[in-house]
A and B are shown apart, each in its own frame.
Chain A
Amino acid sequence: MRKTFVLAALAAALTCGAASAQQINVKIGVLTDMSSLYKDATGPGSVMAAKMAAEDFMKTHPNFKVEVVSGDHQNKPDVGVQIANQWIDVEHVDMIADVPNSGVALAITQVAAQKNKVFMASGPAASDLTGPKCNGNMVHWTYDTWMLANATGKAVVKNGGDTWFFLTSDYAFGHALERDTAAVVEANGGKVLGKVRHPINTSDFSSFLLQAQASKAKIIGLANAGGDTINAIKQGAEFGIGSGSQKFAGLLVFASDVNALGLKTAQGLSLTETFYWDMNDATRAWTKRWQAALKTPDKWPVMNQAGVYAGTLHYLKAVAALKSAADGKAVVAEMKKEPTDDPLFGKGTVRVDGRVLHPAYLFEVKKPEESKYPGDFYKLKATIPADQAFRPLKDGNCPLVSG
């Protein structure tokens, strides 16, 4: 009788002790594109990346319970805002990750600020997110239009591509990309010989490619994305672009697009990404895990998906330091205090305006005969160090930056 009493008291004491180690619950919502053009560059791959980050973090922090939910914004700002609000108000989500599609991202960053939660933007490209639209609840990972324009533009001009012709998507994103890249090209001694604007979701580019050929520019800059880029490159191959005197420079190309094109068609294409699965042993190991978890051995992770992993890890570290995820602003401030360090992007920092600085890489797509195994797409042409890859702080017009 007494023994049971002692045992019970002991048990009670132990459980009290464990409870005082304070269980921290965090809920992460991956708001992504599951059904249209960004699905392969984000989608289920992003959700898996977040889950992997949660798993890895919980291994080293047993008092954390991290739950990952996902939603499809279908590239519609309305749907994105609806899901985000419902997640925050009803399901107590603390952090929203990914959000490819800048229009949706701009709306979500407002929601995060209004409701004081965190927006970990690893998907969108708009450099305005760390510019006029910046706020204290958002961190912008992976890439933005300024970085793409600068990295690809400068590096290609330095490599000899000094005359450009632009094939631009006729909407704000395409215009911004063209404008930024043209500025960089000219600032580095190159010349823009001409441009043509095409509607989004154009199937046939032959007419535009003829115009590009007629200009005799060495580089045809593709200021577009997704299916438009793929179609332009595919049809360019018919016209001999890429294997002759003219080459393409892809201003927003993901490894998933290169996979879709095949090396025969995409060879010689220059592009910038901040992550490549085959970079080093750490990225290779992570990629194997990712492929196994998704059961897709013939798909490779792309920088957006890697960004979800890295960003989520860094976020969780900040939450651990504060012991709570409740105050979004505080968590973001903590994220800006600590440098970032993860197996995928290496070392970096989060700046005052929310911009994450990490190195960027200029790649060129290999010829089919240079590729030794499936997934061997790129050769590294140049590395741009973190402090030069992104727009200088003073040029951003971010209200958070004083002066």
Chain B
Amino acid sequence: MERVVEPSAKVMPLRRHSEWITFGVMVVVLLIAPFFIYPLFLMQALCFALFACAFNLLIGYVGLLSFGHALYFGWASYIAAQAAKVWGLPPELAILTGTAAAATLGVVAGSLAIRRQGIYFAMITLALAQMMYFVALRAKFTGGEDGIQGVPRGHLLGLVDLRSDMAMYLLVLAIFLAGILFIHRIIHSPFGEVLKAIRENEPRAISLGYKTERYKLAAFVLSATLAGAAGSTKALVVQIASLTDVNWPMSGEVVLMTLVGGLGTIFGPVVGSFVILVMQYKLAFLGEWVLVIQGVIFVACVLLFRRGIIGEIANWLRIRL
């Protein structure tokens, strides 16, 4: 299968730590941001950023395009909402429960989808996502098109009242950073090297003795789990879980975010999700010209800026991001 992402130029030794430097800068920026930018917006952006990073793990590093990633994001958000509101679990357990649900769904969906390649893989993920959308529509607990509303944020570890936006923001930031670090760890591990080998040339990897199906499934489940973490957190941030989270336009949006930011880069999806969300909110007064602008961005990215924002920067500076 053809390579999806063009490799960045040779990494120069002095810039070896580019990723850590950028990470540090990002942490600092995110710590001071809530004093300048509305915290509720930042929290949503961070959840989507984590979702996009999870999606990017699959497409950027393994080369698998999933059309139905909203399945894990949305169902995790439903389960977490249910856990917090109806079962009365504290926030940390609610988020864990949602994430675990996403992981389970990932195992089931992944083992079915992994059997196929390329566009057929993508279509199976879409089919599964649509079927689960139908289930979400009909299941009583999801509340149909009203969704689960009024999800309580609760007290973290029984101590910290998460109704305060600042406290909730710190929790979301912590989850987001943990997610990014986890992804970084995966990519720069022997496991990650095998994944990249599979992306470059799967038959060769098989001939070297690697059981590629198992690696792909593992990557799929990891991606689904992280997407689930993002979804569960989002349910507590906005205090709503609704059908829009499991619908296929949501899957499409995460593709857009990753593409704009840069496939196969660690920070690309983060930047991409912020850009897209800012556009949706700040340009909201333009009505549906926002959709047109999104389309133009899609087209421009594919034709001219295939590496995405971060990818182009990384290529220009010849570092890894």
Contacts and interface: CB of A to CB of B under 8 A. Distances in A.
**A–B touching in complex (CB under 8 Å):** yes
A161 interface: no
Contacts of B242: 76-78, 103
Contacts of B41: 82, 86
Nearest to A89: B38
A172 interface: yes
B40 A85 contact: yes
Contacts of A76: 242, 244
B233 to A, nearest CB: 13
A89 B240 CA distance: 19
Most-contacted residue by chain B among A76, A102, A110 (CB, 10 A): A76
Contacts of A170: 137-138
B161 interface: no
A371 interface: no
Given A34-B287, A35-B287, A86-B41, A78 B146 contact: no
A364 interface: no
Task: Kindly name the residue among A82, A110, A170 whose own CB sees the greatest number of chain B CB atoms within 10 A.
Answer: A82
A170 B139 CA distance: 12
A268 interface: no
Given A78-B238, A106-B146, A86 B288 contact: no
Contacts of A35: 287-288, 290-291
A340 interface: no
B144 interface: yes
Chain A, interface size category, equals 20 to 34
Given A44-B287, A72-B284, A78-B242, A103 B40 contact: no
Interface residues of B, number: 28
Interface in A117-145: none
B147 to A, nearest CB: 6
A31 to B, nearest CB: 10
B44 A82 contact: yes
Nearest to B146: A103
Interface string A168-185: 001111000000000000
B315 interface: no
Name, among B41, B240, B291, the residue most crowded by chain A CB atoms within 10 Å (CB to CB): B240
B145 interface: yes
A86 B37 CA distance: 10
A107 interface: yes
A204 to B, nearest CB: 18
B18 interface: no
Given A77-B147, A83-B281, A90 B240 contact: no
A328 interface: no
A105 to B, nearest CB: 9
B240 A78 contact: yes
Contacts of A81: 238-240
Nearest to A86: B38
Nearest to A44: B287
Contact of B137 (A43, A106, A171): A171
A107 B40 CA distance: 16
A70 interface: yes
By CB atoms of chain A within 10 A, which of B144, B145, B150 has the most? Answer: B145
B146 A172 contact: yes
B104 interface: no
Contacts of B245: 78
Interface string A46-87: 000000000000000000000001111001111101110110
Contacts of B281: 82-83, 86
Interface string A101-114: 01100110010000
B44 A102 contact: no
Contact of A103 (B147, B234, B239, B291): B147
Given A85-B40, A110-B150, A72 B287 contact: yes
8 contacts: A44-B287, A72-B284, A77-B240, A78-B234, A82-B238, A83-B281, A102-B145, A103-B146
Interface of A: 34-35, 39, 43-44, 69-72, 75-79, 81-83, 85-86, 89-90, 102-103, 106-107, 110, 170-173
8 shortest interchain CB distances as A-B pairs: A34-B287, A35-B288, A76-B244, A103-B146, A172-B144, A77-B242, A77-B240, A71-B284
